[in-house]
């Protein structure tokens, strides 16, 4: 019979508000012992299990990622130290996050053909190390929207934009510009590798990898954000053009980094409900990065008309199920790397609940405003305390085994975790327990193991040697 242990903790008062700059949850190295620090940001690998593929750390534990997007879409295309520094990183860590999806821009890396911006690459490395020093994993996201700034977006430098003289006409909302003939022609030239554009792109991304590959805590390279076909490449885009491109870029990255996971995205419209049909690829250590903007059809077509939350939730659920199915078919770890329903915290909470249901990590869009019409200030974490309050929730950043289910009931304040323990795990399970969710303290019940160490915002659980399953329940006092 599995033994059951219970631990009661003392309440911890919360200082300050829950908005940007709030102090709750800051790692305190010398207060309350190691339970105040989460798992470190060491190297991760992808392991196939009976419950699907998961990220696993150097201690044999399944890693669940919660985090946020950080970047800048206008010059200098990376967050300079005067606008993003250690204070910002500490704030992100105080939210219990262990992932940053760090946006880099092709134009920033190679503003002129054949020339790399060393200062830009140095800043990328500086940020990756800064995050890793604060126990935050980093995903390098080669970001783009609408292909280039030439079309009011971001991504390709002007020398990589070929429209064959077709004029560009701006539309509103900006998502409609993907259908503009000039934008479509520029994408066609890229996907067909005219003018050796893919060679130049691969060289730029490889230069980034060469700068950061040795930094412990790097969790992956995302090869292209929200890929969109042109007119001539629309047929067979997901099945042919995109997989071939991904394999080509991955091969370049593998020349300088043999093991860091490679993240690929499906076609951009998959984020809004188009069936996911991304073709098979010969890429090892593969992660499937998808977004959930299920409200996009309503935003673009109806300008947020009188549709019901029920319809919106159903669309969110379809996008999640659709992409999970395709990730499973590809043998890849699925990760929700963007979602943002604006200031609608009910939608935000529903998507976070869905991610728990699917045992999927996530990165919210975004930390703050990236500075263009393709990324406004609505819903950002900086300046929106309600968004912070919604996203900062209990979750298990490290599980000493294979997860079977986990989730947080927002009404009762109860968090539950079930997992099958692994003999290969050499460190205990860790659960992040944010103070603001339990202002009067929390109770812990463990079946098949016991809570260890001093209670705090990082609860540790060690399973019993013969336990077949471990159940952890955290509830308010």
Which pLDDT belongs to residue 242? 98
Which pLDDT belongs to residue 296? 63
Cβ neighbors of 78 (< 8 A, separation 6 or more) are 71, 72, 104, 105, 108, 120, 123, 124, 127
Side-chain-facing half-sphere of 210: CA atoms under 13 Å: 12
Helix, strand and coil content of the chain, in percent to the nearest 5, comes to 30, 25, 45
- Residue 95: which of 12, 13, 27 has the closest Cα? 27
| CA pair distance 323, 344, nearest whole angstrom | 23
The answer to whether the beta carbons of residues 215 and 129 sit under 8 Å apart is: yes
List own/partner pairs for 120-126 with CB under 8 A and 24 or more apart: 120/76, 120/77, 120/78, 121/207, 121/208, 121/211, 122/211, 123/76, 123/78, 123/80, 123/81, 124/78, 124/208, 124/211, 124/212, 125/211, 125/212, 125/215, 126/81
The answer to whether the beta carbons of residues 421 and 436 sit under 8 Å apart is: no
Q: Locate tokens 């750390």: which residue? A: 57
pTM: 0.91
CATH architecture of 4-476: Alpha-Beta Barrel (3.20)
Give me the tens of pLDDT residue by residue for the chain, a chain 477 residues long. 333 444 444 333 222 222 332 222 333 332 333 455 788 777 799 998 777 899 999 999 999 999 999 999 999 999 988 889 999 999 999 999 999 999 999 999 999 999 999 999 999 999 999 999 999 999 999 999 999 999 999 999 999 999 999 999 999 999 999 999 999 999 999 999 999 999 999 999 999 999 999 999 999 999 999 999 999 999 999 999 999 999 999 999 999 999 999 999 999 999 999 999 999 999 999 999 999 998 765 554 444 444 456 667 888 999 999 999 999 999 999 999 999 988 889 999 999 999 999 999 999 999 998 878 898 667 899 999 999 999 999 999 999 999 999 999 999 999 999 999 999 999 999 999 999 999 999 999 999 999 999 889 999 999 999 999 999 999 999
């Amino acid at each position: 019979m599995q033994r059951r242990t219970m631990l009661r903790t003392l309440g911890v008062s919360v200082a300050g508000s829950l908005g940007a700059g709030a102090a709750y949850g800051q790692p305190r190295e010398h207060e309350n012992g190691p339970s105040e620090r989460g798992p470190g940001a060491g190297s991760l690998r992808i392991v196939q299990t009976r419950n699907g593929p998961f990220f696993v750390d150097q201690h044999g534990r399944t890693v669940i990622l919660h985090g946020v997007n950080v970047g800048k879409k206008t010059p200098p295309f990376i967050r300079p130290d005067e606008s993003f520094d250690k204070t910002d990183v500490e704030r992100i860590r105080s939210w219990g996050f262990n992932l940053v999806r760090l946006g880099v821009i092709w134009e920033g890396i190679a503003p002129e053909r054949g020339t790399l911006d060393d200062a830009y690459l140095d800043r990328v490395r500086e940020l990756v190390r800064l995050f890793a020093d604060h126990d935050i994993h980093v995903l390098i996201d080669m970001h783009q929207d609408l292909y280039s700034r030439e079309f009011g977006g971001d991504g390709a430098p002007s020398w990589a934009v070929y429209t064959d003289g077709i004029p560009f006409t701006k539309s509103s909302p900006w998502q409609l510009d993907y259908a503009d003939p000039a934008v479509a022609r520029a994408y066609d030239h890229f996907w067909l590798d005219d003018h050796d554009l893919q060679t130049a792109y691969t060289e730029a991304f490889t230069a980034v990898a060469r700068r950061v590959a040795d930094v412990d805590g790097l969790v992956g390279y995302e090869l292209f954000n929200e890929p969109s076909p042109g007119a001539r490449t629309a047929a067979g885009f997901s099945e042919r053009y995109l997989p071939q491109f991904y394999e080509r870029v991955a091969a370049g990255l593998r020349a300088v980094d043999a093991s860091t996971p490679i993240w690929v995205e499906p076609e951009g419209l998959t984020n809004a409900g188009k069936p996911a049909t991304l073709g098979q690829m010969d890429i090892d250590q593969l992660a499937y990065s998808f977004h959930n903007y299920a409200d996009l059809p309503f935003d673009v077509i109806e300008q947020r008309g009188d549709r019901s939350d029920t319809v919106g939730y159903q669309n969110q659920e379809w996008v999640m199920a659709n992409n999970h199915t395709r990730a499973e078919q590809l043998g890849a770890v699925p990760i929700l790397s963007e979602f943002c329903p604006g200031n609608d915290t009910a939608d935000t909470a529903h998507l976070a609940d869905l991610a728990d249901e699917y045992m999927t990590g996530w990165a919210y869009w975004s930390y703050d405003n990236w500075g263009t019409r393709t990324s406004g200030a609505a819903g950002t974490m900086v300046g929106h305390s309600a968004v912070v309050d919604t996203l900062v929730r209990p979750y298990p950043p490290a599980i000493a085994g294979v997860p079977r289910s986990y989730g947080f009931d927002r009404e009762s304040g109860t968090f539950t975790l079930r997992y099958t323990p692994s003999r290969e795990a050499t460190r205990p399970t860790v659960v992040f327990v944010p103070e603001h969710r339990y202002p009067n303290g929390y109770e812990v019940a463990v079946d098949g193991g016991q809570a260890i160490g001093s209670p705090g915002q990082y609860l540790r659980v060690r399973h019993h040697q013969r336990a077949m399953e471990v159940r952890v329940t955290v509830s308010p006092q």
